[in-house]
Amino acid sequence: MSARYSKESPFTGILHTMEFDLYDQQEFELRMLAYQSGKGLIQDIFPELSDDAREFLKTGITPLEWLKYME
């Protein structure tokens, strides 16, 4: 089973949800807790994820929103 994470985009205010097939929900939440507690950099805690996925975890901004609002 995969993990799901939802976060509101600061650009649009839309709540987006991303699914992570690499983790079950419990492992994902433990990793997020470690990241949010300052126990490591996001790229060290989630090394398997793409840059876009890690950016979503940090900010809630999707790759499409980056393209639309940052060009």
**pLDDT tens per residue across span 7-66:** 999 999 999 999 999 999 999 999 999 999 999 999 999 999 999 999 999 999 999 999
- For residue 24, give its domain range: 3-70
Angular region, 53: left φ>0, alpha ψ -120 to 50, beta rest:
alpha
* Structural domain total, the chain: 1
User: pLDDT-based confidence at 71, cuts 50/70/90?
Assistant: confident
The structure's pTM equals 0.90
Question: What's phi and psi for 31, nearest 5 deg?
Answer: -65, -40
pLDDT of residue 1: 85
Tell me the C-alpha distance between 55 and 4, whole Å: 15
Q: Which residues, 6+ apart, have CB-to-CB distance to 47 below 8 Å? A: none
Question: What's phi and psi for 39, nearest 5 deg?
Answer: -85, 0
